[in-house]
Structure 1
Amino acid sequence: MHHRHVLAVAVTGVLLVAGTGATAPAGAAGTPVARGSPSVTALVVDARWGGHAAFDRLVIDVRGAMPPVTVHRTRTLHYDGSGIRVPLAGRHFLEVVLSPAAAHDDTGRPVYRGPRLLTVSLPALKGVALTGDFEGVVTLAAAFDAAPVYKTFRLHSPERFVVDIAHPVSCRD
């Protein structure tokens, strides 16, 4: 029994020493990242919107696995990192936070092609802004004149996060 214990300790020590680089996350201090290797961080590449008969839809396109996403109401909008107020028209706002995620690649080049700050003229949705790409967190904001009633869900192949915002049904001639 003693020999098995000694052998297990020795094997564990060898694996720890030999496998240090293999077990550290890519990009960690002292861990080389091969050029051209894909990022493990989800990349937020676009945000788009559309109007439907009973709801407006905001779609956030993600390359890679969908990270955890939170959506919450906020009274004011500020750019992440700087704290500067976002000049997005509206009285009610939603923040959509994706983390861990980035809107830039490993070299720092932007991959996000959606709006940075845009007024939208839909029944419910009045504006969209990218308010943060800072320290592994991507934040987008949506503006409304009235308090939004919304639901969220994910779509796959490709990965998308969807926010549907209800509005009164309107007849169009």
Structure 2
Amino acid sequence: MAALKKVPLKKFQALIAAVLMAVGLGMLAPAAATAADPYCGLVWGSLAKTNPAMSQAKVVNVRTGQHYCFDRLVIDLNGPVKGYTVRYVPHVVQDGSGTPIPLRGQAFLQITVNAPAYDDAGKPTYNPANKNELSNVTGYQTFRQVAWAGSFEGYSSLGVGVRARLPFRVLSLPGPDAGSRLIVDVAHFW
């Protein structure tokens, strides 16, 4: 009867040894992430994204938010958003004058909405109190600064200083009401 109890223990010990050896050899370990694996399932790139259409809508607000896998910039318009250009640049420049806008960060996105930030009489529809800090991005993983670059001849631009040249996407969404939103999401990692 004592011999029967030893046999299962020996089999159990052999099984444990086999599992430990397999783990040590990496046969049971999960596959390591590679550079080709997208971060958080994101498959965005870092090349320029553009739509040349012009909009009759006006820029009315700029805001930011943090998400699990990316930081988000939202530009609110009072009508349908149409065209835009979003791209990494060596320096963000002010509309009209070309004066460089100083930004914190290691990489810089220039975002141009093909819509003015003023009405037909030239009255501003968006006039930030602090053009150098449109939104407080302290503590964001990717954003370092969001600054206004101006509105000139039907185009409105702003600059985003980011931690590094990271992948991004551009979306346009309807609402609220008759307005729309141009959204730029920048991933936290590659």
The TM tier, using the shorter chain, reads: 0.5 to 0.7
Q: Determine whether 1:160 maps to 2:181.
A: yes
Distance 1:77 1:151 in 2: 19
One-letter amino acid of the structure 1 residue matched with residue 122 of structure 2: G
Q: What is the match of residue 145 of structure 1?
A: 163
Q: What are the ranges of 5 or more consecutive residues in structure 1 without an aligned counterpart?
A: 1-39, 169-173
What is the TM-score normalised by the length of structure 1? Answer: 0.68
Distance 2:93 2:168 in 1: 22
One-letter amino acid of the structure 2 residue matched with residue 45 of structure 1: V
Of the three residues 72, 97, 120, the one matched with 2:137 is 120
Distance 2:121 2:102 in 1: 29
| Count, aligned residues | 128
Query: 1:67 Cα shift?
Result: 2.1
One-letter amino acid of the structure 1 residue matched with residue 185 of structure 2: D
Q: Determine whether 1:79 maps to 2:101.
A: no
Distance 2:74 2:127 in 1: 13
Of the three residues 94, 106, 109, the one matched with 1:94 is 109
Query: 1:150 Cα shift?
Result: 1.0
What are the Cα deviations for residues 44-70 of structure 1, in whole angstroms up to 9, with x where unaligned? 111100112221111110111212112
Identical-residue share of aligned pairs (%): 38
Secondary structure, in 3 states, of the residue corresponding to 2:100? coil
Distance 1:137 1:151 in 2: 20
One-letter amino acid of the structure 2 residue matched with residue 108 of structure 1: G
Q: Determine whether 1:65 maps to 2:80.
A: yes
Query: 1:132 Cα shift?
Result: 2.4
What is the TM-score normalised by the length of structure 2? Answer: 0.62
Runs of 4 or more off by more than 6 Å in structure 1?
none
Bigger CA radius of gyration: 2
Do the aligned residues in 1 keep the contact of 2:80 with 2:174 (CA within 8 Å)? no
Pairing of 1:19-34 with structure 2 (within 5 A): none
One-letter amino acid of the structure 1 residue matched with residue 124 of structure 2: P
Distance 1:132 1:67 in 2: 18
Report the aligned-residue RMSD: 1.7
One-letter amino acid of the structure 2 residue matched with residue 120 of structure 1: V
